[in-house]
């Protein structure tokens, strides 16, 4: 997918301003002189709103609008982070080598430099080419099994009964773990594994015998690849293998599950568009990308400044607001609208630069097979009358439930 307009990254070592915006770059400390009300989710007139303001969690978009228009780069005292909200600036920040992932964890995404490249090189091949093709059959089969389980019913909740299972099963398959263990793994994913945290004590205990077996008898799966790989001439420790597996389960499982929930909600809200996609499945990928633009499952990615970057001091935390960037009117026409046929929805929901997500193809095929499986058993899929999806989740809202009629 074409990423569209890009702000060139500031060169390493440059101390020029990070945000090349025309709007004033201000701090939320002293009040700004103009007194346009920040609106819902905002602070007082002229004062920059905070990420932690009441209401922002459930509807961050009013807050993002205020930031984009009036405070494109701002220090948010309450969250102790510099907020970046415009599309071009978010891309620029993610490409800037002076802004690194905070070393708050031990997983792939928390690493930089040579170790990061080495660990990335280990997992990336599993998500392209022949390995990805091999995964496709498993994802497709699981999607149909899940869809058939609810097919005879009149009503279902697609979040609880479909979205939360399919992506975890896809990564369980990629790792070569038994599909029957998906339920246990899924429970761990829901209690502690997220896109950035790959260590979960129970998961590690569960994985230990599989790691021992794969070290002795490697197969063609991703867990075997991790067990047999060498970085700097040495094998990865059991803990590192379990950490990478946990990252993949957290990243691929929960994140894709939430994205799938938003995708189905967007289509169910636009039955005309859903009907077109049902008859022309090749349009599914565009519809999925558009949902990720409008409702990404990760609204924030965090960075730490290694050196001063414009007004951002060394050591400061920077929050790159993906959820805001995807709705920047300077990049996307009518950005709040869901348009499954939008020509260029971009791919910023997967990040940018050296930490760009390695899983877009797996996520996209999970969405594609998921939707097709549901359509095959329930071509008249629609909301339960009167039902409206309620978003849940701190700063990355996705529907808590999707109550649908199947026939
Ligand atoms: C809709 C689904 C997904 C979305 C929106 C998404 C989004 C992202 C984003 C924004 C990042 C960058 C984080 C940063 O820069 O700090 C990232 C990194 C990552 N994602 Fe995903 N992701 C998705 C699915 C997946 C899947 C299916 C996998 C694998 C099974 C995966 C594995 C990873 C890993 C390992 C990283 C760390 C990469 C690195 O640090 O080099 N993600 N993802």
Q: How far apart are CA 230 and CA 209, in angstroms?
A: 20
Other C-beta atoms closer than 10 Å to the C-beta of 217 total 9
105 in any annotated domain: no
Atom 30 (ligand 1): residue with closest C-alpha? Answer: 252
Query: Which residue from 195, 198, 348, 370 has its CB within 8 A of the most atoms of ligand 1, so it is best to mutate?
Result: 195
Tokens 């990308």 correspond to: 289
Counting atoms of ligand 1 from 1, which one is nearest the CA of 297?
5
Counting atoms of ligand 1 from 1, which one is nearest the CA of 352?
15
Q: How far is the CA of 387 from the centre of ligand 1 (A)?
A: 31
Atom 2 (ligand 1): residue with closest C-alpha? Answer: 256
Other C-beta atoms closer than 10 Å to the C-beta of 12 total 10
Q: Using DSSP, how many helices (H) and how many strands (E) does the chain show?
A: 15, 12
Helix (H, G, I), strand (E, B) or coil at 321: strand
Helix intervals (H) in 18-156: 61-70, 87-95, 113-123, 129-151
Q: How far apart are CA 221 and CA 228, in angstroms?
A: 11
Q: How far is the CA of 46 from the centre of ligand 1 (A)?
A: 36
Sort 379 into a burial class: Cβ within 10 Å, 0-12 / 13-18 / 19+. exposed
DSSP 360-404: HHHHHHHHHHHHHHHHHH-TT-EEPTT----EESSSS-EES--EE
124 in any annotated domain: yes
220-246 per-residue burial string, b: 16 or more CB within 10 A, e: under 16: ebbbbbbbebeeeeeebeeebbbbbbb
Both structure tokens of 95: 């490409």
User: Is 163 in contact with 142 (CB distance < 8 Å)?
Assistant: no
221 in any annotated domain: yes
Q: How far is the CA of 247 from the centre of ligand 1 (A)?
A: 9
Query: Which residue from 359, 393, 396 has its CB within 8 A of the most atoms of ligand 1, so it is best to mutate?
Result: 359
φ, ψ for residue 76 (rounded to 5)?
A: -100, 105
User: Is 259 in contact with 292 (CB distance < 8 Å)?
Assistant: yes
Query: Which residue from 9, 100, 255, 357 has its CB within 8 A of the most atoms of ligand 1, so it is best to mutate?
Result: 357
Atom 43 (ligand 1): residue with closest C-alpha? Answer: 357
Query: Which residue from 118, 251, 318, 320 has its CB within 8 A of the most atoms of ligand 1, so it is best to mutate?
Result: 251
Counting atoms of ligand 1 from 1, which one is nearest the CA of 349?
5
Q: How far apart are CA 2 and CA 297, in angstroms?
A: 20
Structure confidence at residue 191 (pLDDT):
65
Question: Bridge partners of 405?
Answer: 155, 382
Counting atoms of ligand 1 from 1, which one is nearest the CA of 109?
40
252 in any annotated domain: yes
Helix (H, G, I), strand (E, B) or coil at 48: coil
343 in any annotated domain: yes
* Residue numbers of the chain with a pLDDT score lower than 70: 1-46, 104-112, 122-123, 125-131, 134, 190-199, 394-395
User: Is 198 in contact with 245 (CB distance < 8 Å)?
Assistant: yes
Are β-strands 234-235 and 155-157 bridged in parallel, bridged antiparallel, or unpaired? unpaired
Counting atoms of ligand 1 from 1, which one is nearest the CA of 356?
12
12 in any annotated domain: no
Q: How far is the CA of 250 from the centre of ligand 1 (A)?
A: 9
Domain count of the chain? 1
Pocket of ligand 1 (CB under 6 A): 101, 108-109, 120, 123, 171, 195, 247-248, 251-252, 255-256, 259, 292, 296-298, 301, 349-351, 355, 357-359, 362-363
Structure confidence at residue 89 (pLDDT):
98
123 in any annotated domain: yes
In sequence order, what E strands does 261-385 have?
Answer: 300-305, 317-321, 382-383
CATH number of the domain bearing residue 221: 1.10.630.10
Domain that holds residue 124: 114-298+338-405
31 in any annotated domain: no
User: Is 193 in contact with 249 (CB distance < 8 Å)?
Assistant: yes
Residue closest to 320 by CA, chosen among 78, 105, 45, 19 = 19
Contact partners, residue 112, CB within 8 Å, separation at least 6: 100, 101, 354
Structure confidence at residue 114 (pLDDT):
73
């Amino acid at each position: 997918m074409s990423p569209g307009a890009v702000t060139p990254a500031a060169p390493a070592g440059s101390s020029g301003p990070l945000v090349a915006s025309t709007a004033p770059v201000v701090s939320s400390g002293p009040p700004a002189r103009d007194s346009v009300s920040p609106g819902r989710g905002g602070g007082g007139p002229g004062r920059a709103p905070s990420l932690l303001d009441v209401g922002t969690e459930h509807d961050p978009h009013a807050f993002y609008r205020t930031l984009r228009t009036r405070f494109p780069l701002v220090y948010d005292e309450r969250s102790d982070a510099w907020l970046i909200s415009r599309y071009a600036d978010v891309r620029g920040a993610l490409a800037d080598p002076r802004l690194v992932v905070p070393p708050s964890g031990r997983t792939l995404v928390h690493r930089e430099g040579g170790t990061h490249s080495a660990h990335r090189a280990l997992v990336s091949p599993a998500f392209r080419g022949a390995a990805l093709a091999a995964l496709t059959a498993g994802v497709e089969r699981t999607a149909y099994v899940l869809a058939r389980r609810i097919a005879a019913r009149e009503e279902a909740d697609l979040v609880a009964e479909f979205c939360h299972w399919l992506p975890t099963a896809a990564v369980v398959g990629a790792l070569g773990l038994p599909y029957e263990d998906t339920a246990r793994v899924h429970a761990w994913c829901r209690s502690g594994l997220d896109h950035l945290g790959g260590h979960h004590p129970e998961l590690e205990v569960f994985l230990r015998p599989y790691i021992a077996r794969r070290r002795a008898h490697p197969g063609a799966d991703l867990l075997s690849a991790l067990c047999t790989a060498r970085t700097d001439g040495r094998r990865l420790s059991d803990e590192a293998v379990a950490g990478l597996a946990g990252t993949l389960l957290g990243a691929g499982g929960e994140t894709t599950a939430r994205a799938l929930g938003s995708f189905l909600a967007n289509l169910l809200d636009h039955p005309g568009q859903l009907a077109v996609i049902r008859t022309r499945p090749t349009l599914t990928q565009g519809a999925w990308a558009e949902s990720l633009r409008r409702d990404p499952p990760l609204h924030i990615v965090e960075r730490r400044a290694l050196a001063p970057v414009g007004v951002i001091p060394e050591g400061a935390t920077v929050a790159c607001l993906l959820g805001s960037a995807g709705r920047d009117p300077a990049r996307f026409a009518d950005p709040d609208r869901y348009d499954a046929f939008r020509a260029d929805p971009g791919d910023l929901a997967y990040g940018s630069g050296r930490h760009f997500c390695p899983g877009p193809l797996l996520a996209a095929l999970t969405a594609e097979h998921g939707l097709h499986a549901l359509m095959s058993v329930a071509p008249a899929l629609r909301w339960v009358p009167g039902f409206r999806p309620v978003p849940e989740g701190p700063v990355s809202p996705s529907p808590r439930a999707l109550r649908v009629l199947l026939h």
